[in-house]
Structure 1
């Protein structure tokens, strides 16, 4: 079998040479934690060419498994909420629900968290326990609290951490509620995406403390944000860029659409902006901020494809189709959904389409808003 120490060092060298592991304290922490120890139960590999996506298990113990553990890539560790690699022979076509995030992103986020010696940190989303172990190696386990939603995932992480003689405070529960028992915290870091920053996180962070989380949504665009908590109970800060993507926290995943509206109704007009702009990550993020309750689907209607957005809160919807090279939109519901999206995009274009790194987010007890 290959030497895990050698593979581990090769990964660290690659991350350092690529500028993705930048500071000595985190280099030391990364050197102290071997990733394969948190993947002994194996992982799922995507089956090449499978449509829809299919996954096959890679079980621990051989060279292929070990070498992949030290690749800078995310590895799926749970599918459909309960299924782990040892449960499967063959292939499975279900959605991933837990993973081991690629090491470069884990370490980038920990560096962006700006922890200091003595910081009390809460992590939302224990996962395999790898990032938890890095925090323990840097700060000491007594200063780390980690909250995991899934009981089985939490149990496996607890076992893996114990093998490393690391015993942080591990909590099984809704990470969106934080952990008031160990508050206040100097730093909070989330390894899942949220649609809105939970009030509990702000309440459990010391004034001047930082919250690092990915802001995502139902249109599939997300960005990392670093918020500073203020004395008045609000928080604000910049987006950090990089198209960082995590699975949405389970309570923030989209609800079933249910019975679709009658898409033959509504008023039509020529669209100023077509749905093709949604292929661009930044544009999709802006659209998502304009219609945070909207879900997108493609429908085949009367022999032609229509891109449909449905606001699940209001029931408003917009259907767009290509009519001989021009986009036509048909809308119905309490508000004209595509009108609102075009107006929002228009203001962004009038400002010169600033990059997402130029955006800031402000969170108050009443609302969350983006500014550019």
Structure 2
């Protein structure tokens, strides 16, 4: 009965994804209808406790009523918290940050379609996670054509168990996904299921000329976008952002450092701001701001009877504190660079060029680094 029920749930999921325009081709539809997502969630998942502050999570295990149906709801399901804690470890609630999840199926499918996989392609996946997307790749291609890298040994082990239970045996590697996996290179396609501040050139080196790299580019202000790049003969990669406000957990080696002791926010130089901190509430504007300050983190503080919005670049030792003064904003800045000056300059230039959508932004990766610029 469960097998028949899960097959019906998979077909229903495929129907919803197709109706939404995300599941566009028959090979991927067949994969979605064939690969049982619930097998990759046998360890359960966490659900958010509504109304909790700070956010609390509680486990949903396979013996919980409605577990199977929840596995086929189009939502991301948290599978690990605080780097080691899985649902079976908890009785009650936990207030820690998620560190691994089963990505919502519509995003998984959208990325696999956008990867433009062709028969016979060899694919490197960065971030095995639960293994569900790995299973879809194996079904679409074959085990020997799929390599998946996961930084967490226990996450990789659980994924391998689930994949084996479904009859899939790809090459699973435990290691830093930012380094790729050169032993099985070159690849025709590379897809990353984690966010990165900068796309590593090692990924370009391990992808064949003409091959495609699909990855989510992010910053510590947490506006991120999916980018698709084609590798060139000269060892560079070029492409565009695809738009759609895609969000993934950052690759663990690129997580922001602890803020530590805050700087003296009463120091520095104060002036009237040309742009207020509220511009960062807009996704596209925040992405542009990140281009100027990719390693800045944002916090809000209540001081002296008002709210201050603070950007801090811990590594550079730079900071900017903004507060509303009537209808205007003021900014104080300190450190070796003026963070808010850089943000204002970049955002103002973008707006003067007509504020092009993020899918008009071009990305280039060379051995010297990454550049992102918009077409005006």
TM-score, normalised with respect to structure 2: 0.97
- Residue 138 (structure 1) aligns with: 140
Alignment-derived partner of residue 333 in structure 1: 335
Q: How does 1:335-350 map to 2 (within 5 A)?
A: 335-350=337-352
Please list, as runs of the form range in 1=range in 2, the aligned pairs for 1:18-167 lying within 5 A after superposition. 18-167=20-169
Instruction: Provide the C-alpha distance between the structure 1 equivalents of 2:318 and 2:156, rounded to a whole number of angstroms.
Output: 39
Which of residues 260, 266, 269 in structure 1 aligns to 2:268?
266
Aligned residues of 2:212 and 2:231 also touching (Cα < 8 A): yes
**Aligned-partner Cα distance in 1 for 2:228–2:11:** 30
The runs of at least 4 consecutive aligned structure 1 residues that moved more than 2 Å come to none
Match of 1:237 among 219, 239, 244: 239
**Equivalent residue number for residue 288 of structure 1:** 290
Q: How many Å separate the matches in 2 of 1:273 and 1:175?
A: 38
* Residue 209 (1) aligns with residue 211 (2): yes
How far did residue 259 of structure 1 move?
Answer: 2.0
Per the alignment, in what secondary structure is the counterpart of residue 162 of structure 1?
A: helix
What's the CA shift string for 1:302-343, capped at 9, x where partnerless?
221110111223211111001112100111111221111111
Cross-structure match for 1:299? 301
Q: Distance in 1 between matches of 2:78 and 2:26?
A: 29
Name the SS of the counterpart of 1:190 in structure 2: strand
Q: Which residue among 309, 317, 320 is the counterpart of 1:315?
A: 317
Q: Aligned equivalents of 1:332 and 1:69: distance in 2? A: 49
The CA deviation string for residues 217-268 of structure 1, in whole angstroms up to 9 with x for no partner, is 1101000000111111111100001100000000010001122211111111
Match of 2:193 among 191, 194, 198: 191
Task: Give the gaps of 5 or more residues in structure 1.
Answer: none
CA–CA distance in 1 between the matches of 2:150 and 2:352? 42
The alpha carbon displacement at 1:275 in A equals: 0.4
Deviation at 1:63, TM superposition (A): 4.1
Quote the Cα distance in structure 2 between the aligned partners of 1:89 and 1:44: 11
Q: Find the aligned partners of 1:158 and 1:18 in 2 and give their Cα distance.
A: 31
TM-score, normalised to structure 1, is 0.98
Which sits farther off after the overlay, 5-14 or 205-214? 5-14
Distance in 1 between the 2:88 and 2:296 partners?
Answer: 37
Counterpart in 1 of 2:359?
A: 357
Q: How many residues align?
A: 372
SS in 1 for 2:66: helix
State how far apart, in whole Å, the 1-side matches of 2:302 and 2:366 are.
42
Cα distance in 2 between the residues matched to 1:184 and 1:292: 30
Q: Using the alignment, how far apart are the partners of 2:342 and 2:106 within structure 1?
A: 38
Distance 2:161 2:200 in 1: 29
* Residues 184-229 of structure 1: CA deviation (Å, up to 9, x unaligned): 0000000000000012111100111111000111101000000111
**Which residue of the partner structure matches residue 6 of structure 1?**
8
Matching residue of 1:226: 228
Larger mean Cα displacement after TM superposition, 54-63 or 126-135: 54-63
Distance in 2, Cα, partners of 1:242 & 1:84:
30
Uncovered stretches (5+) of structure 2, i.e. residues with no partner: none
**Partner Cα distance (1:313, 1:153) in 2:** 30
For 1:163 and 1:339, the matched residues in 2 are separated by 55
Q: Matched residues in 2 for 1:8 and 1:30: separation?
A: 7
RMSD value, Cα: 1.0
Give the deviation of 1:293 after TM superposition: 1.4
